[in-house]
Amino acid sequence: MDKKIVIALGGNAIQTSEGSAEAQRRAIRMTMQTLKPLFQSDNDIVISHGNGPQIGNLLIQQSQSDSEQTPAMPLDVCGSMTQGMIGYWLETEINRVLSEIGSDRAVGTIITRVEVDKDDPRFDRPTKPIGPFYTEEEMQELKEAQPEAIYKADSAGRGYRKVVASPLPISILEHKLISTLVEQKNIIIACGGGGVPVIKKDNTYEGVDAVIDKDFASEKLAALIDADTLMILTNVEHVYINFKEPNEEKLTDIDVETLKRYAKEGKFAEGSMLPKIEAAIDFVESGEHKEAIITNLENAYQTFDKQAGTHIHK
């Protein structure tokens, strides 16, 4: 039976050691070739992706060229810019694959806004570093211009970086549009970089200075469009408990209650595997017959035959 799948691409699907456009496009080309078997299926497909290195580079460029003539753009605008840039690259390479397999499916990018709660307590605990490193003197000057901004020293001694909040998504504003398009067999790219965080204000939505975790945004979208499967692609084939310890254990097929117990026991690293686990749990609990899969890019297609990956279910 055909399924509706949301595929959350990890940073290794785009990021390379070289930051040029051509290098990133080569990485995306390899990623899309790896996913070719999925495009040959009749599954409905939505692709989300990260944007950490890209928005970091863009914020550095904005900072270095900031002037009265070319004022730096705020974080929410930079987020939308990277959604468009990476979406364009993905469209180009997906079109290449579709042509190779003789498919007439269309592909398109939706610049996605993700609603957050203005009272989310995470706004009071900014933890997400963004943009360039500053010396202490530069940081103090920036603080004078923007007293509300928060900067933290880098643990590796590289200077200070601005930190912003990472609130939880409560809705995806474009989810109905995305659902309609994907049900017509279009391949849709959405929630890039976790989407642009917005709060409801007056009769519209306004961007806020924050970053949403890509996996949480992907989960929320998957639940809202009633997807069957949330596939989170990362750099390991399976989830492990006691990772890199003598009693390391690979998880291949696990129910959500057991996974919740492992998470509560601190079996997964914060800021690494834990957010993916939490997103997977939320999705599986969002409806009946939902499955979350965590694996690496190379084994994405094999997971549908249960030959690879960690499968999470009720």
Q: Tell me which residues are annotated as active site.
A: 11-12, 128, 214, 276
Contacts of residue 111, defined as CB under 8 A and 6 or more positions apart, other chains included, come to 80, 83, 84, 87, 192, 196
Q: Is 156 exposed, middle or buried (0-12, 13-18, 19+ CB in 10 A)?
A: exposed
- Phi-psi category of 29—alpha, beta or left, where left has phi over 0 and alpha has psi -120 to 50? alpha
Contact at 8 Å (CB) between 189 and 109? yes
Token pair for 127: 């933890």
Contact at 8 Å (CB) between 199 and 208? yes
Please identify which residue in the block is written with the tokens 């051509």.
22
Task: Please name every residue paired with 296 in a beta bridge, in sequence order, or none if there are none.
Answer: 234
Cβ-based neighbour number of residue 189 at 10 Å: 27
For residue 236, CA distances in Å to 202, 251, 300 come to 44, 12, 11
Contacts of residue 72, defined as CB under 8 A and 6 or more positions apart, other chains included, come to 62, 63, 65, 66
User: What is the helix (H) or strand (E) element at residue 155, kind and residue range?
Assistant: none
